[in-house]
Structure 1
Amino acid sequence: APAQTLSDRDHQMLRSAALRIIRALGIEGGCNIQFALDPRSSTYYVIEVNPRVSRSSALASKATGYPIARVAAKVAVGRRLAEIRNEVTGRTFAAFEPALDYVVVKIPRWPFDKFPGADRRLGTQMKSTGEVMAIERTFEGALAKALRSLEQRWPDELELDDPALIDQPNDRRLFALLRALWLGATPAGLAARTGIDVWFLDRMEAMTRLAPSPTELPGRNGHEPTYKLVDTCAAEFEAETPYYYSSTAEEVSETRPDPGRAALVVGSGPIRIGQGIEFDYCSVHAAWALRSAGVRAVMANSNPETVSTDFDTSDRLYFEPLDLSAAAAVARAERVAGAVVQFGGQTAINLAERLAGAGVPILGSSVDAIDLAEDRRRLAQALDSIGVPQPAGGATTSIDEALAIAQAIGYPVLVRPSYVLGGRAMEIVHEPEELRRYMRWAREALPRGTVLVDHYVMGTEVEVDAVCDGDTVLIPGIMRHVERAGVHSGDSFAVYPAYGLTPEGEAEIVDFTTRIARHLELRGLVNVQYVIQEGHAQVLEVNPRASRTVPMLSKVTGVPMVRLATLVMLGERLRDLGWESGLLPPRPLVAVKAPVFSMHRLLAVDPYLGPEMKSTGEVMGVDRTLGAALRKAFQSSGIGLRPGGQALLSVADPDKPEMLPIAARLVERGYRLHATPGTAAALRRAGLACELVAKAGRPRPNVLDLIAAGVDLVINTRNGPGVSLRPGLPLIRDGFELRRAAVERGIPCLTSLDTAAALLAAWEGGPDLEVRTITEWREG
């Protein structure tokens, strides 16, 4: 934005058409209209009309500085546009249409780095999980900045060699076009192949003339950026809101640091699997806490979908890529006392060491403390030194050493890298050849080559979030995962307060968490994940930052965790704020977090849950009892269980004994059971009637025909590694087609018997659900 290839005549034609449509439909408030325009004529079609604010409304608001949702809300209660003041300029009114003297580029963020085996072609089905936005004075500058904001590795030349990447829309097409232009392809030739307007390709060719290689962006040549104000009216009126973007095309900077102490809050960037809106919650509450403490909050982020990039969340907002050069430049321009990196997920944490090296102090936990927790090898040594148990294992960069560690501790082993989020590249490995292939891949693909090889412990997972000031360690609550270890915490159902813990087990977890926080000298937030086996806890990982469960725990306990952590970073002590060490008494409620998936949009991705995170969101259910809270959570995530339905069961041999009581409970609810041969035999031996159905790939009719005809529930578990995202490892095992067929038809497909048991517990608790405010639940 603004549209670069429309003539003024076309622009006015579409604008007039939009106004006629809105008036004819009688729409008051926000409205989104999408047109298809023939570039060779003035023929256009209306694709759709959305009589509401839409995903693009948030983008348009951030791009123009015009608060669409705020204005729409005021219109809904009877205000006229000419009566609503524009808070950005402070002078104009909402009837004044925005005018831009800069260019805005949005690029979607796709999850194919997590799912390289997925169908990467783009079409009418949305596949992105988030987006970035960049502002500059030129299209070239904005595009380069948006590409930096994606926080993704640029594909190498071998990846971009396929001509289909240019001919078909896909997530790597833009990179392939830039490479082709750098290698000498003409804009006109590429325009003919792709249908992309030659104007864009001309601009991209200009970018490549300054690029040092076909897989690198042009640099800044060492120039310090200047900062310009987003003012909605092309400088016709003076703007008052400090909402800035950097430019290398201007010499005069419009930002001036205000007197007084300031802190830079590093945001979390585009929404992606493993790093979602939970971290924006934390960034926003950190900004509010800074402002309430009299410290200027300077926010840096690149995501137009978030509250942190609203013009009034912080004292200063910078729409910038979250890389070292941009973050350090903002810190210098604002002369901040330090940077807050604990609330922006792994994006911000990964910047800590380099920001400190650039002269920007890190508030809260020191860079060394962060590295101690994030570096798996150093953490293992630290835990040993304070007597906190962990699964047997070791850290290595060597294939031979990894094989030796696995041989010593026994298979299966859990392999995972340091400094990643969302369980990226985490695998359960069952044999030496799998481990050998994984290590070959890790040596080339991981940013820090260290891989942790741990004995895989099957037990109950428990998660703790704490606020610490180096001495006092406040634990608002403990959460238990419904699924046993092996399913990523972000994909697990989680319950507060943790059920099934003995008083001794709970005390052990509190003791270990306190020891860890004090030994690492953490100041701010810390997240510790444990596995409980035979009543004793072992540490799985320590995260020296906000976790994705902080918003939920803050809401259900009433403890302002982010505010307390921010004040600790500013030098306050928890005791002075009225808080003591230890675990707070549980609130008189049960809260359940349920994951939400988008598997139906990502073809060829196995929906089986494992140690690498796959969910794209979450919901929460709150009630008096576990069963009722589970039911609310399942319903909110789109999973139901009606009496008298049909269930398809196909489970691995080790799971068959545990499956039998679940199957019996389904029969009690009037379910008709279908099962594959091995599962059917186990059911019949237990006296449970079922209909035999052949596996996928066997003569018809088989499970795929049954799913196509319609079932209400699929329960499928597997034995062994199954699908792997690492090149060279096994790609498809029996059951993949079954799971994909269920997901693509919207049928709940549960790949853990723990989840299946929880679903039955939820629907056996009775039909009546109580509705109360979260405050009423907390107060009992």
Structure 2
Amino acid sequence: MFEKVLIANRGEIALRIHRACREMGIHTVAVHSLADANAMHVRLADESVCIGPNASKDSYLNVPALLSAATITGADAVHPGVGFLSENANFAQMVEEHGMTFIGPKPEHISLMGDKIAAKEEAIRLGIPVVPGSEGGVNSDAEALKVAEKTGYPVLVKAKAGGGGRGMKVARSPEELVEGLQMAKNEAKAAFGNDDVYMEKYLDNPRHIEVQILADGQGTVVHLGERDCSLQRRHQKVLEEAPSPALNAAERERIGKIALSAMEKMGYRSAGTLEFLYQDGEFFFIEMNTRLQVEHPISEMITGVDLVREQIRIAAGMPLEFKQEDIRFEGHAIECRINAENPETFMPSPGKISDYHSPGGLGVRVDSALYSGYAIPPYYDSLIAKLVVHGQSRNECLMRLRRALEEYVIDGVETTIPLHQRLIGETDFINGDYNIHWLEKLLSGRK
């Protein structure tokens, strides 16, 4: 087992990884920018290293600084967390080349699934159902129109290297497609330095369903059930729940078997998530995330499996201690992403926390690095906490979540707690009757 792990991230996820390491008897090294000198993960880690100025590109994305920090502290492994360099195959490879272990998948799998077109081709090879669309990249209006004629409108133009909704355009007619193609390419170039795009059939009312995978690279693969991540704003997840209220037992078993079979064929290692659109009883692969997910706690709550602990054990060459038949799914879990934002305009609200009180009680978990007096910096993602609640039934979970949101106090900045209080009171949500467009319509008053 590792003696010392460098955590190449910040905020609540860095604290989450630190806690798992300490419970395993592993020493931790925190890295931080100048803005994060007083962050909780820095205060709790065994050692800390400043890796650069406030901007992410000069600190948390600064590969030479991260590798130097790992080297000078004698870390024998690096955990990338989520975001930043967690799906950067070159970083993973460089960590290994410097004699340390990257706690995550093989670099070749990160690279493969990071290319949306190659990932789709791999999914087809692995027997995973995919959304009908172009066989590869689309480079001209003529190619795009030909694909649309084959699949039928509406269609979705997507950036090959995309994420977070950037470089995505919906077209419902040839005219919209010609315009949207160029807009998507321009957005993709600006956001990712790569203007390659591809096309898929646009599904009007799908759910976003994802399956959590764990594989030890030694022949054992398990899934920890599905998560419903359909509550989204501008393609960003807002609230997730597990299991999905939309699936029946047969559909749940079917998508689980598809995911297991694919990962076994692929020879995957570590934690990973297969993401699907689900509509009219059918699943369509959209992408694979070769890292820990922000919403991983809800899978942990319904299975009792510590995903970060298992990531670390797998990276250390240890086999999984359980098989699929050992996984027991218990109850229901919901995660609310709490952002430092105005709950109506969604404008970021950095600033100093004047008062902080975390909710508690049976079945309530808060993943957050906040504390009274902490100053939320304006330089990073506005996610400041994850409120995760578990109950024996979905109804019990909702009642507990309502109570926990009422208890949660974060003063000094604006947060999205009021938004979550509104969402869980909506009849459609209470009934589990929503899709990926539902929240946008609610917020715009079109519902």
Could you tell me the TM-score, scaled by structure 1's length? Answer: 0.42
Higher Cα radius of gyration: 1
2:128 to 376, 388, 391: 388
- Correspondence list, 1:29-178, <5 A: none
**Retained in 2: the 8 A contact 1:300–1:318?**
yes
Displacement of 1:392: 1.6
Distance 1:562 1:500 in 2: 28
**Retained in 2: the 8 A contact 1:591–1:629?**
yes
Aligned match of 1:413 = 155
Aligned match of 2:335 = 593
Aligned match of 1:478 = 226
Q: Does 1:454 align with 2:200?
A: yes
Distance 2:140 2:278 in 1: 30
Aligned match of 1:467 = 214
Distance 1:616 1:338 in 2: 26
- Letter in structure 2 aligned against 1:381: E
**Retained in 2: the 8 A contact 1:416–1:453?**
yes
Aligned match of 1:356 = 93
Task: Write the deviation string for residues 164-221 of structure 1: whole angstroms up to 9, x where unpaired.
Answer: xxxxxxxxxxxxxxxxxxxxxxxxxxxxxxxxxxxxxxxxxxxxxxxxxxxxxxxxxx
**Retained in 2: the 8 A contact 1:262–1:336?**
yes
Aligned match of 1:377 = 117
Distance 1:573 1:604 in 2: 44
**Retained in 1: the 8 A contact 2:138–2:199?**
no
2:50 to 291, 311, 319: 319
Displacement of 1:475: 2.3
Aligned match of 2:9 = 268
- Letter in structure 2 aligned against 1:356: Q
**Retained in 2: the 8 A contact 1:522–1:544?**
no
Aligned match of 2:391 = 623
2:82 to 345, 370, 378: 345
* Long gaps (5+) in structure 2: 52-58, 348-380, 406-416, 432-437
Aligned match of 2:72 = 333
Q: Does 1:565 align with 2:311?
A: yes
Aligned match of 2:418 = 638
* Long gaps (5+) in structure 1: 1-259, 272-276, 606-612, 642-646, 648-660, 666-714, 719-747, 754-780
Displacement of 1:495: 2.4
- Correspondence list, 1:535-614, <5 A: 535-574=281-320, 577=321, 579-581=322-324, 584-587=327-330, 589-596=331-338, 600=342
**Retained in 1: the 8 A contact 2:269–2:314?**
yes
**Retained in 2: the 8 A contact 1:480–1:498?**
yes
Distance 1:547 1:570 in 2: 20
Distance 1:716 1:265 in 2: 38
Aligned match of 1:280 = 14
2:29 to 269, 286, 298: 298
1:398 to 124, 139, 143: 139
Distance 1:268 1:407 in 2: 45
Task: Write the deviation string for residues 211-253 of structure 1: whole angstroms up to 9, x where unpaired.
Answer: xxxxxxxxxxxxxxxxxxxxxxxxxxxxxxxxxxxxxxxxxxx
Displacement of 1:749: 4.2
Identity %: 17
Displacement of 1:375: 1.1
Structure with higher strand content: 2
Distance 1:561 1:354 in 2: 22
Displacement of 1:614: 9.1
Distance 1:385 1:352, change over 3 A: closer
Distance 1:441 1:501, change over 3 A: closer
Distance 1:340 1:618, change over 3 A: closer
Distance 1:559 1:543 in 2: 19
- Aligned residues: CA RMSD: 3.7
Task: Write the deviation string for residues 3-51 of structure 1: whole angstroms up to 9, x where unpaired.
Answer: xxxxxxxxxxxxxxxxxxxxxxxxxxxxxxxxxxxxxxxxxxxxxxxxx
Higher-RCO chain (CA-CA 8 Å, sequence separation at least 6) = 2
Distance 1:539 1:583 in 2: 27
**Retained in 2: the 8 A contact 1:389–1:539?**
yes
Distance 2:384 2:74 in 1: 37
- Letter in structure 1 aligned against 2:306: P
- Correspondence list, 1:505-520, <5 A: 505-520=251-266
Distance 2:346 2:208 in 1: 29
**Retained in 1: the 8 A contact 2:209–2:229?**
yes
Distance 1:373 1:584 in 2: 26
Distance 1:386 1:304 in 2: 45
Displacement of 1:309: 1.6
Task: Write the deviation string for residues 568-622 of structure 1: whole angstroms up to 9, x where unpaired.
Answer: 1100000xx3x113683321x32222344555378697xxxxxxx9977543343
**Retained in 2: the 8 A contact 1:528–1:541?**
yes
Distance 1:632 1:403, change over 3 A: farther
Displacement of 1:524: 1.5
The alignment partner of 1:349 has SS state of coil
Distance 1:531 1:265 in 2: 35
Distance 1:582 1:486, change over 3 A: farther
Aligned match of 2:352 = none
Distance 2:150 2:383 in 1: 34
Q: Does 1:309 align with 2:75?
A: no
- Letter in structure 2 aligned against 1:319: C
Displacement of 1:373: 1.5
Distance 1:418 1:546, change over 3 A: farther
Distance 1:461 1:566, change over 3 A: same
The alignment partner of 2:244 has SS state of coil
Displacement of 1:751: 5.8
Distance 2:402 2:446 in 1: 15
Displacement of 1:549: 1.2
Task: Write the deviation string for residues 102-130 of structure 1: whole angstroms up to 9, x where unpaired.
Answer: xxxxxxxxxxxxxxxxxxxxxxxxxxxxx
Displacement of 1:542: 0.8
- Letter in structure 1 aligned against 2:227: M
Distance 1:329 1:355, change over 3 A: farther
Displacement of 1:630: 2.7
**Retained in 2: the 8 A contact 1:530–1:539?**
yes
**Retained in 2: the 8 A contact 1:283–1:308?**
no
Displacement of 1:544: 0.6
The alignment partner of 2:127 has SS state of coil
**Retained in 2: the 8 A contact 1:280–1:306?**
no
